[in-house]
Amino acid sequence: MAQSKSPKTAKSRLGGLSKPRLLELLRQMLEIRYFEETVSDLLGKDLIKGASHLYAGEEAVAVGAISTLRDDDLITSTHRGHGHCHARGDSLARTSAEKQDHLNRMMAELCGRATGYCKGRGGSMHIADVEKGNLGATGIVGGNIPVATGAALAVKLRREERVVLCFFGDGASNTGNFHEALNLASTWSLPVVYVVENNLYGMSVPFTKASRLPDVAARVCAYDMPGRVVNGMDVLAVREAVSQAVQRAREGGGPSLVECKTYRWFGHSRSDPCAYRTREEEKQWKALDPIVAFKALLEKEGIATRDELQSVESRAAESLKTATDFALASPWPSPEGLYDDVYVIRSREPGEVEAERALRERIYRDPATRQIPYWQALNEALREEMDRDPAVFVMGEDVGLYGGAYGVTRGLFERYGAERVRDTPISEATIGGAAVGAAMAGTRPVAEIMYVDFTPLAMDQIANQGAKNRYMFGGKTRVPMVIRTEGGTGRSIAAHHSQSLEALWLHFPGIYVVMPATPYDAKGLLKTAIRDDNPVMFIEHKLLYKEKGPVPEGEYTIPLGVADVARTGKDVTVVAYSRMRYRALEAAALLSREGIEVEVIDPRTLKPLDLETIVASVRKTGRLVGVTEAYKTGSFL
C-alpha cells in the first residue's frame, strides 16, 4: 500500500492550475457547504421530508476527485451524495445560467418537487443526474460498488477510454459488495477508481471498532490493487492522488483505491445527536476545515485577494438562495404520474400478437418442423442475439468452456471469446450489480446465476439498484439486462437447490419475470428479453433442458405478456406455467376421458401477465385452478 508522499511546497501543490480553475474549485466547495447548511435548515422547518445525510466537511473529496474527470467519464454515489452530484454537474455546466439551473434542480429534488433531477422521486439519498454521467446515489451502504464495477466493464467492452469513479464511505468497506466487486475489477483489470470517504464513523460505530486495520487502503493488497491514503481535507491532495489513479485506469492499468481521511460536520443524519463523538474531537477536525484552509492557501500564495475570495463566497451564497427560492416555488409531482416510468414501455407493432400466434399454430401442426431440446433453443437465442448486437454479452459462473450449469452457453466461448463470454467468481451480488452497471453504461448483459435459490444473494443489486432506479431517477435510465437462472424440483438436490422463487421476483416493481415451458417459447422469449430495455428475470426449469419441441429455423420473437392457450376447453380453466404446463396437459387428457374439458393456459410471462386471456377463459368456464411448484404460502397462484 502506498502512503501519501512527502509534503510539497505550497506553490508546487497548486499543480499549475490557473487562477480561474482554482477559484472554481473553491466556489464548488462553498456551494456544497451552503447547500448542506440550507438543507439542514429546511429539514428543521419540515420543508424537506425524510432522511438526509449531509456532506458538509467532506467537500474537498468530491471537488478534488471529480476535477480530474473528462466530460464523458462516469460516477456512482452514495446516500451522502449531494457533494458528488454538485461537483459533477457543475463541472459539466458551461455557462453561469447552466450552473444555476444545475443547483436549482438539485435543491428541487431534495424538496421533492417535479422540477428536480429525478422529478422529486429520488430525494436526498437517491439523487442522480444520469445525463451528465452521474449514475446515481444509493440508499444501501455499498450498493453502488458493484454497479460502478459493471459500468467500468461496459467501458472496457466498448473499448472506450472512459473511467468510472465510485464513491463510498468507510462503512461500505465492511460489506461483501466491497470485496466481491474489487476482486472482480482487479481480475478483469477494469477502469474504475474507488474513492473511500473515511469520515471515521459508520453511523455511530468508530471505524477503529469495525476493523483491525486503521486504513481501508491496506485491504486492497489482497486484490493486487494500488491503495493510497490521502488527507481528505485538502482538495489539492485529493486531486493529485485521484488524478494519478484515473490516468492509470485510462491507460489500461486497471483499478485503484484512494482513501480520503475526512470528517462530517453533521451527524449521520439530521436526527443524530453525535453523542458518540467528543466536542474536542469535533473542534480538532473543524480546525482543518477544507474551505478555510484552501482560501488561506490561495491568499498566501497571491492567487487571490481577500476581496476576491469574499466575492466568490458571496456569489456562492446568492446561488444557493436562488436555488432554494426556485425549489420552494416549484410544483409538487402530479398524483396522475405516480406510476410513470416504472418500466420502459414498448408499443407493440400492429398485428404482432396475431402473427406470433399464427406462427405457433403453424409450427405445432407441421410435422416437418425440426424438434430440438430446450437447452439448444436457448443456446440458439443467445447466438443469434450476440451475432445481431455486439452490445450483448454473457457472464456468470462456469458459462465459458464448461457451457453453463446445463450446457446452455455451450460453444459460445469458442465463438465469441473471453471478452463477451465471461466466467465470473462465485459472487452473485457482484454478478447482479455488474449487470446493472453494464446495462446502464450502454451494453446488454445476459448474466447467469446458476440456481434461482442463489438469486436472493443478489437481491439488493437486482431489485434495489437495477429494477427501481429507472423510477427513482425520474425515468432517465434504462437497464436492459437479463438474469438467466433455473429453479424447480425434480433432481433430489435438497432445499437449497430446489426452490421456485418466482413470486419473490414478482414482488419488485421495475423487473419482468419470464418462465417459458417449451423450446419454442424459450427461444422466442429469451430473444425478446435481451432486446427489452427493462431488467428481466428469466427463470428456466431444471427438468426441461432435455425436453424437445418444434422450433422454427428462422428469426422470430414472442411478445412479453401474451399467454399461450395450450389446450381449449369449456368446463374449467387451469393456469399453469413452466414444468406444470406439462402436468396440467396430462391431467386435462385424463379428465377428457371422463367428459371434463379443461382449458390450459400457460402465461409464459408472469410479469407482464396476460390477464385478458385468463379472464376471458374464466368467463367461459366459470372455474379457475392454478398449478404451481412453489410454496403454498405466498406463491404466484
Report DSSP letters for 10-53, one per residue.
HHHHTTT--HHHHHHHHHHHHHHHHHHHHHHHHHHTTSS-S---
Q: What is the largest CA-CA distance in the chain?
A: 99
The residues, ordered by sequence, that sit 6+ positions from 262 with a Cβ below 8 Å of its Cβ are 57, 58, 60, 61, 197, 198, 199, 232, 233
3-state secondary structure 418-462: HHHEEECCCCHHHHHHHHHHHHHCCCEEEEECCCHHHHHHHHHHH
Residues 260 and 233: their CA atoms lie apart, in Å, by 8
Closest CA to 181 of 544, 489, 425: 425
Query: Is the C-alpha dihedral spanning 300, 302, 305, 308 positive or negative?
Result: negative
Q: Is 618 strand, coil or helix?
A: helix
Closest CA to 22 of 256, 253, 294, 220: 294
Q: Is 347 strand, coil or helix?
A: coil
Q: Is 185 strand, coil or helix?
A: helix
* C-alpha grid cell, residue 230: 490521502
For residues 253 and 192, is the Cβ–Cβ distance under 8 A? no
* Residue with grid cell 436472493, as numbered in its chain: 456
Q: What angle do CA 456, 193, 395 make, to 5 degrees?
A: 40
- Edge to edge, the sheet with strand 482-487 lists 421-423, 392-396, 444-448, 482-487, 536-541, 512-514, 605-607
Our answer to whether residue 131 is catalytic in this structure is no
Catalytic-labelled residue, pool 428, 486, 599, 629: 428
Residues 215 and 230: their CA atoms lie apart, in Å, by 11
Our answer to whether residue 428 is catalytic in this structure is yes
* Residue with grid cell 406462427, as numbered in its chain: 359
Residues 583 and 579: their CA atoms lie apart, in Å, by 7
Question: How many angstroms separate the first and last alpha carbons of the chain?
Answer: 55
* Residue with grid cell 476576491, as numbered in its chain: 308
Residues 147 and 77: their CA atoms lie apart, in Å, by 10
Q: How long a stretch of residues is the chain?
A: 637
Report DSSP letters for 559-594, one per residue.
-TT--EEEE--SSEEEEE-TTHHHHHHHHHHHHHTT
DSSP 463: I
Catalytic-labelled residue, pool 84, 268, 497, 541: 497
Catalytic residue annotation: 428, 497
